[in-house]
Amino acid sequence: MDYLPLFFDLKQRPVLLVGGGDVALRKARLLTRAGAQVTCVAHEVLPELHEMLDLHQGQVVIGEYHPQLIDEKVLVLAATDDDVLNERIHHDAVARNVPVNVVDSPALCTFVFPAIVDRSPIVIGISSGGQSPVLARLLRAKLETWIPTGYSRLGQLVGRFRDKVKARFGSVNERRVFWESVLQGQVAERVFAGQDSAAETLLEQQIEAGNARHQVGEVYLVGAGPGDPELLTFKALRLMQQADVVLYDRLVSPEVLDLCRRDADLIFVGKQRDNHAVPQKGINKLLVDHALAGKRVVRLKGGDPFIFGRGGEEIAELKKAGVPFQVVPGITAASACSTYAGIPLTHRDYAQSVKFITGQLKNRTTELNYAELVHPNQTIVFYMGLHTLRQNCEGLMAHGKPGDTPAAIVSRGTAEDQQVLVGTLSTLPDLQDEAQLPAPALVIVGEVVELQEDLSWFGDNAAPAVAGEHVD
């Protein structure tokens, strides 16, 4: 270990900062956030740095550095581009036993600044000992994605109740078990959902009851997106990795499913046309039953739970049963698949509105209001529309949509084997009869489809490089 990681309490403590440029400004931001009283000395000081120090009861000294400035300081930072001056500051600080940091000069540092993940009161520092600051920042970026900002409020909540928990539970082991359950249970989830008052009330109830377990679990309706696991949200991934039970659809890709908690119970409830592994009422019952058994349940849905995903039906049953739930939006297929196909759904020269249409209604009919769909300057996206492709194309043309209106099918959008078939309202059904692109697929109708050839960028349908463009 090259450096012992320590956390300094700098609140109202005097710190010397030598330098007045951009680097000094970045260091001053950290120091003032920690509550330090900063004295900055330099010949020139950026206006923003001057304003910051004025705001935080700091001091600016315009002029030369001299060793007496270090007296009574608890830390010294040198942020100058003068190597000789930096060495002087280092030696002066060491002679006075004051910790010193010289920016970008590890050999002149008695302490180094880590890359910081700030979820105060939780603070994480990552250091490479000055060997690779870029690597430390990359690791910090990964941690930033894994640790919700709600951990700050969660840490504050725990701090407010430490004494109550200590009084309620006599042994260290009992307190440890209690807090582990709280921090992985509904109290934490209420905080992450922005329901701080509910979290505090629940925590008080659990302290009073003498345990952290609540007889009712929770259900998370999570949008898994179109299939590419990199399109998941941070919140979706976090909930997937802590679920006890996962109910997943046919449209959830194996790559996304593989990101769920390893020991979770995975239950397939997918639907295909005329072939439902579990009827919707059965899915609703599974969600309620597992939650009432105290489990954390993820209902993993392709796309978004509230766009043709029956999320509204499921949470209505959860609410009726008194089961807590959260809904995590996902990237819906229309947005993702059109993007990966190079077809913008709106464009100021082609379409100023877009409509999402389901290929079939609840009673298995497709009685669409075609008259509403034939307006110009509008993009139409049909979900689950392959089996009614010909019917819908003919219905649009019968109500006045020109037969030469561009139309496309995007099959298995965002997947490595994505395929795009482009035609017109009059030709697309025959083209599909020949190509037999598989489901899941979207049908996109509108002038924006004309842009696909030039704007496609993903997979085998990527547009060729233009003249003069460098290709490795």
- Please give the positions annotated as active site: 249, 271
Q: Which residue has the tokens 């819908």?
A: 392
* 342 annotated among ligand-binding-site residues: no
First-to-final CA distance of the chain: 42
Residue 422 in contact with residue 406, Cβ under 8 Å?
Answer: yes
* 90 annotated among ligand-binding-site residues: no
Torsion of CA 383, 388, 393, 396, to 10 degrees: -80
DSSP class of residue 1? -
* 22 annotated among ligand-binding-site residues: yes
* 84 annotated among ligand-binding-site residues: no
The values of phi and psi at residue 408, to 5°, are: -145, 155
Angle at 302 between CA 219 and CA 410, to 5 degrees: 170
Residue 39 in contact with residue 15, Cβ under 8 Å?
Answer: yes
Encoded amino acid at 452, one letter: Q
* 244 annotated among ligand-binding-site residues: no
Buried b (16+ CB within 10 A) or exposed e, 142-178: eebeebbebbbbbbebbeebeeebeebbeeeeeeeeb
* 21 annotated among ligand-binding-site residues: no
How many other CB atoms sit within 10 Å of the CB of residue 381? 23
Q: Burial, 289: exposed, middle or buried (Cβ in 10 Å; 0-12, 13-18, 19+)?
A: middle
Q: What share of the chain is helix, strand, coil (3-state, %, to 5)?
A: 40, 20, 40
* 302 annotated among ligand-binding-site residues: yes
H or E segment at 122? strand 122-126
* 434 annotated among ligand-binding-site residues: no
Residue 197: half-sphere exposure toward Cβ, Cα within 13 Å: 0
* 23 annotated among ligand-binding-site residues: yes
Encoded amino acid at 222, one letter: V
DSSP class of residue 323? -
Sign of CA pseudo-dihedral 226, 253, 463, 422: negative
* 332 annotated among ligand-binding-site residues: yes
Number of H helices, E strands in the chain: 17, 19
In the numeric block, which tokens belong to residue 2? 């090259």
* 44 annotated among ligand-binding-site residues: yes
Q: Which residue has the tokens 């796309």?
A: 303
Q: Which residue has the tokens 């000395």?
A: 41
Binding residue positions for S-adenosyl-L-methionine: 226, 302-304, 307, 332-333, 384, 413
Binding residue positions: 22-23, 43-44, 226, 302-304, 307, 332-333, 384, 413
